[in-house]
Structure 1
């Protein structure tokens, strides 16, 4: 099986030694995508804005890989404050397909750089 790294120029670069995504075995495995605005290089204020930006960034990585948010089968949402769960769900629901993907959502996670949310995903790679 081959592995192909994916890095979208429309998304801030990875914060460490990892790829934004890896394509392998007909799937796209996306690393945790934060709500960092690529235009400013910083995260917007508040969990609602960061969730929105994280999902926009995730979509950009998926498109660069040849997939899309509509092909997502599993996500994991890491977030800093359990009290933000309802707000995150509201934003997340607007972006995800029906039926929504399987999901895990561990809370009270300490994220780097004071970020409030990070979302990773696995998506199907449509036949090329």
Structure 2
């Protein structure tokens, strides 16, 4: 199978030697999306707004390949503070009102650019 690199200006650009996402066949694997506004470069620092920005970045990447949030089969949420879980989950749930994907959520000691949350996904077309 051929590997296709996915890129869009509607999500933050890679800050290292990696792609925003990769498509192999009918599968899309995104890199972790931090809560950076792609238009302004501003880092969102309040957990609900930050979760929304991460998921909007994911959504923009998926749309490049004609995918939607409903195509997501697995997510991983990295939180700087597990005490933010309930607030993150409230926003997260609004993006998956039916048939939510499988998910892992873990607390980590530090995230890129000192973000408070990072979300990566796997989607199937």
- Please indicate the TM-score interval, normalised by the length of the shorter structure: over 0.9
**In structure 2, how many angstroms separate the alpha carbons of the residues matched to 1:105 and 1:65?**
26
* Counterpart residue number, 2:71: 71
- TM-score computed with the length of structure 2 as normaliser: 0.95
**In structure 1, how many angstroms separate the alpha carbons of the residues matched to 2:95 and 2:87?**
13
Question: Is there any run of 5+ residues in structure 1 with no aligned partner, and where?
Answer: none
* Counterpart residue number, 2:124: 124
- TM-score computed with the length of structure 1 as normaliser: 0.93
**In structure 2, how many angstroms separate the alpha carbons of the residues matched to 1:54 and 1:7?**
16
* Counterpart residue number, 1:34: 34
Q: Secondary structure at the match of 1:36?
A: coil
**In structure 2, how many angstroms separate the alpha carbons of the residues matched to 1:35 and 1:45?**
8
Q: Is the 8 A contact 1:72 1:121 kept in 2?
A: yes
Give aligned pairs, total. 125
How far does residue 97 in structure 1 lie from its aligned partner after superposition? 4.5
Q: Is the 8 A contact 1:69 1:97 kept in 2?
A: no
Q: Secondary structure at the match of 2:31?
A: strand
CA RMSD of aligned residues (A): 1.0
Find runs of 4+ consecutive structure 1 residues off by over 6 angstroms: none
Whether 1:16 and 2:45 are equivalent positions in the alignment is no
How far does residue 58 in structure 1 lie from its aligned partner after superposition? 0.5
Q: Deviations over 1:85-124 (max 9, x none)?
A: 0000000000125111000111134102110011000001
* Counterpart residue number, 1:60: 60
